[in-house]
């Protein structure tokens, strides 16, 4: 690991609220997108990356007006904040950097000051009284910096007395920036790969097949059982849509093998899809309804073409939020549709199961039915804790009851390991801290805020490592996995401590050879 | 009829018109702007009844604020509950005969004035003492507290220090409600009190006081968590469905 160009925070045993340090992270800026990247996803570009289009001022204001008319969240959130300060110590990026513009209210105010100036009576006539500001290039620079130091984790929205969700403001801010040619390279480039190739990593179909065959061989060697990872099988019961990282890197592939073993043990016919080879959907990160929908259409199309009865989603946090909360709206993967578009798909899906279903829900159901056998002692070398991923915790659900998203993954873990310890109450569940890499931040040009933003989670993790000898951080999110693998070494932990929930399942599950039909 | 009476009658008619008109415009905009995606902050209720309960807890108890910060909750809740009691007590100046429960609320409302000012004082102190809150405070945030404290102190002054001719004040307002101008006492403390209240009414719909109607329209708090069971789609988004069958590209 190369020496970092910044000071890594020291773990103290407590999550401390820092003093305000103006401009502390103003220098941390991700690379802007070039014209080719912008074009693929339908956005304009200036004369060079980071340059604004002509008429940027009027276009930005027009876009803001458009969004205020389309999204009640934005309209209400711009008006309702009273500057009470409840959110000021809730953001992991503020806790890690001390930069006051990383306080949720201040991040919102970057836009609210412009909203007031251009859209409200008080801001038009008494700007300095209400903190209203003209939209200038400097303001847009601040937007770019700080809207890409927000992981849209929604922790602030839990604590706001009006439920103001900074993620909504960040998404709108990014959408306005995109509309004037100032996109972020990382997110927008990945969005384009997803549209063109079918997954975020840009893995073409043949590479996917190779990987899956290799993993099948690995599993055969390790277990003596022929566990399959089928792809593009027409007529399978279940379509599994998982983040493409699961096909590519450690520790992600361990969970993919875990899913395969669960399907094998349950005897459920299932398939991956080369068309829908990505559960992730960065369209949400940039607030783009059109891009989010276009990416989700791949799942709808794959489900229709393969004729599957169920759609199950692998371990990925924001993907599960998009799937659980938005797929029904965007592309009709769900139930209760009354229009031809959604009925076309929904009449094909099995109404006995929720659509979509999380892989943890799928596995949990099988565990409750006694269809899976485990030898928990195979995980005895591990002492496990579980990190609630922000988008799962605060933007979705699992199971039938509110909060099922906290219960079900833990029940799955406890069914396969003997040693489990939760982190401190105020850092899990709905109060969970983001890993620091979500929402379009998982890029090396933002490494400093990623490391500093991970501080609250690292404090809580360190405490269970010290007190309970925890040595495994179980995750259900590809971004969390990639972020922690990169970041926990800065805090003195080994990257092998990071892994997936279905990696634990994979270790403990007992398999039998199935007869080939 | 004195100039003063006519002036204050005009002020209150204008302030009422701006308050009601401004709120109608704003609430109308909130109600008509679609919420295209399901974004309740989860865990969220799965039924409408559950959402009503969640909203009731939020509005009556400031549940989320309680989770967040006990000091802000204490001062904020104290202020709002006191303001409610004080406002209910003030209904006696607009009703004749006075409703029985307003009579019942009278003593609570009278002393709630102190709690209201105390709560506001606590909130104002935070704007100076906590560096994070100091950073986000604008001049209008301070002035809003000054305005409310001013209303509270002038009101307390009339209740406990220098009584005004309250019978005449009531007569003035009962008259206003039937468009009959009756004399308003020329008591300086009363005039300041009434001017500040009128100012509050005017700025209500153009300021952060919109948090009051706003919370009822906040999608993170007022949506049911039923996205898998019901298709939720905004009118502007339905156009994407048309013509896009199983093959879009």
Q: For residue A373, tell me if it sits in a domain.
A: yes
Give yes or no for residue B245 having a pLDDT over 90: no
The CB density around residue A388, as the number of other CB atoms within 10 Å, is 27
List phi, psi (to 5°) of A116. -65, -45
Q: Report CB contact under 8 Å: B41, A154.
A: yes
Residue A179 sits in which domain range?
36-183
The average pLDDT across A8-14 equals 95
The average pLDDT across A441-466 equals 98
Tell me which DSSP letter residue A9 carries. Answer: P
Query: The CATH number of the domain where A163 resides is what?
Result: 1.10.1060
**DSSP per position, chain B:** --HHHHHHHHHHHHHHHHHHHHHHHHHHHHHHS---S----SS--SSHHHHHHHHHHHHHH-HHHHHH-HHHHHHHHHHHHHHHHHHHHHGGGT-SSPPHHHHHHHHHHHHHHHHHHHHHHHHHHHHHH-HHHHHH--HHHHHHHHHHHHHHHHHHIIIIIS---HHHHHHHHHHHHTT---PPP--HHHHHHHHHHHHHHHHGGGSGGGHHHHGGG-HHHH--S-TTTS----GGGGGGTTT--S---
A90 with A71, same domain: the answer is yes
A334 with A231, same domain: the answer is yes
Residues of chain B above pLDDT 90, percent: 95
Give the contacts of A451 (CB within 8 A, at least 6 positions apart): A4, A6, A8, A9, A96, A436, A487, A490
Q: How much is the pTM?
A: 0.96
Q: Which residue has the tokens 């929904």?
A: A346
Give yes or no for residue B247 having a pLDDT over 60: no
pLDDT, tens digit, for every residue of B73-130? 999 999 999 999 999 999 999 999 999 999 999 999 999 999 999 999 999 999 999 9
User: In this structure, what token pair is assigned to residue A460?
Assistant: 């809580």
Rounded Cα distance between A495 and A473, Å, is 10
Q: For residue A483, tell me if it sits in a domain.
A: yes
Rounded Cα distance between A392 and A319, Å, is 9
Query: With contacts defined as CB-CB under 8 Å, which chain B residues touch A289?
Result: 36-37, 237
Name which of A394, A409, A381, A389 is nearest A502 in CA terms.
A409
Q: Mean pLDDT over all residues of chain B?
A: 95
Q: Write out the H or E segment, with its range, that includes residue A155.
A: helix A155-159
Q: Mean pLDDT over all residues of chain A?
A: 96
A148 with A214, same domain: the answer is no
Give yes or no for residue A484 having a pLDDT over 60: yes
* Beta-carbon contacts below 8 Å between A and B: 245
Q: What angle do CA A511, A398, A70 make, to 5 degrees?
A: 140
Cβ-nearest to A84 among B35, B76, B135: B76
Q: For residue A21, tell me if it sits in a domain.
A: no
Q: For residue A444, tell me if it sits in a domain.
A: yes
Residue A513: pLDDT band by 50, 70, 90 thresholds?
confident
A320 with A275, same domain: the answer is yes
For position A475, what pLDDT does the model report?
98
Q: Write down which residue in A121, A148, A183 finishes a domain.
A: A183
A159 with A290, same domain: the answer is no
Residues of chain B above pLDDT 70, percent: 97
User: In this structure, what token pair is assigned to residue A34?
Assistant: 């070039």
Distance from CA of A225 to the nearest CA of B (A): 36
Helices (H), A14-98: 35-40, 56-70, 72-80, 92-97
* Residues 21-40 (B) with a CB less than 8 A from some CB of A: 26, 29-30, 33-39
Query: With contacts defined as CB-CB under 8 Å, which chain B residues touch A428?
Result: none
Q: For residue A1, tell me if it sits in a domain.
A: no
Name which of A511, A509, A227 is nearest A363 in CA terms.
A509
For helices A404-416 and A501-508, give the axis angle rounded to 10 degrees.
30
Residue A272: pLDDT band by 50, 70, 90 thresholds?
very high
Distance from CA of A321 to the nearest CA of B (A): 9
For position B242, what pLDDT does the model report?
65
Give yes or no for residue B70 having a pLDDT over 70: yes
Tell me which DSSP letter residue A103 carries. Answer: S
Rounded Cα distance between A394 and A312, Å, is 20
For position B246, what pLDDT does the model report?
42
Q: Write out the H or E segment, with its range, that includes residue A287.
A: none
A440 with A351, same domain: the answer is yes
Give the contacts of B90 (CB within 8 A, at least 6 positions apart): B109
Residue A202: pLDDT band by 50, 70, 90 thresholds?
confident
Rounded Cα distance between A421 and A384, Å, is 6
* Residues 101-160 (B) with a CB less than 8 A from some CB of A: 123, 126, 130-133, 135-141, 143
Q: What total of structural domains would you count in chain A?
A: 2
A179 with A197, same domain: the answer is no
Q: Report CB contact under 8 Å: A80, B236.
A: no
Distance from CA of B227 to the nearest CA of A (A): 5
Which sign, positive or negative, has the C-alpha torsion A323, A328, A330, A333?
Answer: positive
Give yes or no for residue A415 having a pLDDT over 50: yes
A392 with A287, same domain: the answer is yes
Give yes or no for residue A269 having a pLDDT over 50: yes
Give the contacts of B222 (CB within 8 A, at least 6 positions apart): B40, B51, B55, B216
A83 with A231, same domain: the answer is no
Q: Report CB contact under 8 Å: A103, B208.
A: no
Q: For residue A19, tell me if it sits in a domain.
A: no
Residue A517: pLDDT band by 50, 70, 90 thresholds?
very low
Residue B248: pLDDT band by 50, 70, 90 thresholds?
very low
Query: With contacts defined as CB-CB under 8 Å, which chain B residues touch A290?
Result: 240
**ipTM for the predicted complex:** 0.95
Give yes or no for residue B249 having a pLDDT over 90: no
pLDDT, tens digit, for every residue of A276-299? 999 999 999 999 999 999 999 999
A241 with A177, same domain: the answer is no
Give yes or no for residue A355 having a pLDDT over 90: yes
Contact A132, A123 (CB under 8 A): yes
Total residues found in chain A within this entry: 517
Query: With contacts defined as CB-CB under 8 Å, which chain B residues touch A165?
Result: 39, 41, 220
pLDDT, tens digit, for every residue of A360-399? 999 999 999 999 999 999 999 999 999 999 999 999 999 9
* Residues 125-184 (A) with a CB less than 8 A from some CB of B: 126, 128-131, 154, 157-165, 168
Q: Report CB contact under 8 Å: B42, A85.
A: no
Residue B240: pLDDT band by 50, 70, 90 thresholds?
confident
A205 with A309, same domain: the answer is yes
Tell me which DSSP letter residue A322 carries. Answer: I
* Upstream peptide bond of B201 is cis (omega within 30 degrees of 0): no
Q: Cβ of A324 under 8 Å from any chain B Cβ? A: yes
Q: For residue A92, tell me if it sits in a domain.
A: yes
Q: Write down which residue in A163, A183, A203 finishes a domain.
A: A183
Q: For residue A71, tell me if it sits in a domain.
A: yes
A172 with A44, same domain: the answer is yes
Chain-centroid distance of CA B4 in Å reads 28
User: In this structure, what token pair is assigned to residue B117?
Assistant: 């000012």
Q: Write down which residue in A183, A211, A239 finishes a domain.
A: A183
Rounded Cα distance between A438 and A147, Å, is 12
Give the contacts of A263 (CB within 8 A, at least 6 positions apart): A238, A240, A270
């Amino acid at each position: 690991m190369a020496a970092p160009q910044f000071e890594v925070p020291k773990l103290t045993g407590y999550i401390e609220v820092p003093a305000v340090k103006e401009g502390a992270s103003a220098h941390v800026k991700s690379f802007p997108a070039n014209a080719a990247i912008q074009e693929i996803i339908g956005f304009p570009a200036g004369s060079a990356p980071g340059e604004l289009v002509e008429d940027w001022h009027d276009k930005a204001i027009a876009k803001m007006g458009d969004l205020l008319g389309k999204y009640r969240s934005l309209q209400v959130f711009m008006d309702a904040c009273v500057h009470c300060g409840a959110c000021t110590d809730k953001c992991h990026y503020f806790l890690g950097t001390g930069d006051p513009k990383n306080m949720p209210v201040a991040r919102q105010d970057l836009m609210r000051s412009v909203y007031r100036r251009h859209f409200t009576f008080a801001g038009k006539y008494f700007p300095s009284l209400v903190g209203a500001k003209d939209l200038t290039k400097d303001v847009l620079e601040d937007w770019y910096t700080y809207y890409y130091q927000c992981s849209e984790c929604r922790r602030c929205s839990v604590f706001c007395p009006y439920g103001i969700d900074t993620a909504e403001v960040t998404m709108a801010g990014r959408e306005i920036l995109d509309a004037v040619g100032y996109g972020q390279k990382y997110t927008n480039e990945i969005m384009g790969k997803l549209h063109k190739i079918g997954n975020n990593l840009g893995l073409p179909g043949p590479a996917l097949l190779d990987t899956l065959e290799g993993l099948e061989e690995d599993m055969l060697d390790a277990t003596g059982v022929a566990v399959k990872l089928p792809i593009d099988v027409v007529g399978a019961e279940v379509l599994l849509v998982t983040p493409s990282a699961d096909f590519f890197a450690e520790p992600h592939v361990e969970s993919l093998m875990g899913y395969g073993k669960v399907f094998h043990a349950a005897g459920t016919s299932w398939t991956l899809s080369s068309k829908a080879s990505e559960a992730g959907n960065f369209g949400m990160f940039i607030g783009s309804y059109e891009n989010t929908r276009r990416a989700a259409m791949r799942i709808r199309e794959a489900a229709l073409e393969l004729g599957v009865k169920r759609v199950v989603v692998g371990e990925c946090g924001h993907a599960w939020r998009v799937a659980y909360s938005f797929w029904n709206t965007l592309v009709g993967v769900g139930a209760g549709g009354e229009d031809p578009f959604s009925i076309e798909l929904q009449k094909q899906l099995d109404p006995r199961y929720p659509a979509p279903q999380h892989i943890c829900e799928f596995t949990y159901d099988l565990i409750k039915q006694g269809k899976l056998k485990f030898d928990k002692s195979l995980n005895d070398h591990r002492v496990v804790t579980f990190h609630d991923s922000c988008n799962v915790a605060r933007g979705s659900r699992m199971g039938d009851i509110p909060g099922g998203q906290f219960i079900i993954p833990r029940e799955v873990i406890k069914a396969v390991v003997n040693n489990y310890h939760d982190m401190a109450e105020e850092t899990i569940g709905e109060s969970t801290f983001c890993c620091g890499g979500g929402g379009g931040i998982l890029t090396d040009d933002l490494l400093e805020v990623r490391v500093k933003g991970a501080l609250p989670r690292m404090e809580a993790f360190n405490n269970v490592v010290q007190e309970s000898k925890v040595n495994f951080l179980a995750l259900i999110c590809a971004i969390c996995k990639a972020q922690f693998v990169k970041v926990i070494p800065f805090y003195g932990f080994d990257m092998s401590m990071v892994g997936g929930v279905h990696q634990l399942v994979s270790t403990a599950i007992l398999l039998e050879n199935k007869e080939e039909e | 009829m004195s100039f003063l009476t006519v002036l204050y009658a005009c002020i209150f008619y204008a302030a009422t018109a701006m308050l009601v008109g401004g709120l109608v415009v704003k609430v109308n905009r909130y109600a008509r702007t679609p919420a295209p995606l399901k974004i309740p902050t989860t865990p969220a209720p799965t039924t409408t009844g559950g959402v009503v309960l969640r909203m009731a807890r939020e509005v009556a108890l400031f549940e989320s604020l309680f989770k967040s910060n006990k000091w802000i909750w204490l001062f904020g809740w104290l202020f709002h509950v006191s303001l409610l009691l004080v406002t209910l007590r003030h209904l006696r100046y607009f009703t004749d005969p006075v409703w029985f429960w307003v009579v019942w609320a009278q003593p609570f409302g009278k002393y709630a004035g102190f709690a209201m000012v105390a709560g506001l004082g606590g909130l104002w102190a935070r704007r100076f003492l906590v560096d994070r809150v100091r950073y986000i405070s604008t001049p209008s945030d301070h002035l809003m507290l000054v305005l409310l404290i001013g209303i509270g102190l002038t009101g307390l002054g009339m209740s406990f220090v220098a009584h005004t001719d309250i019978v005449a004040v009531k007569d003035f307002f009962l008259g206003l409600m039937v468009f009959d101008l009756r004399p308003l006492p020329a008591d300086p403390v009363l005039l300041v009190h009434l001017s500040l209240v009128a100012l509050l009414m005017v700025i209500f719909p153009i300021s952060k006081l919109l948090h009051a109607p706003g919370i009822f329209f906040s999608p993170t708090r007022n949506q049911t968590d039923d996205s898998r069971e019901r298709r939720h789609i905004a009118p502007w988004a339905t156009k994407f469905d048309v013509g896009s069958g199983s093959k879009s590209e």
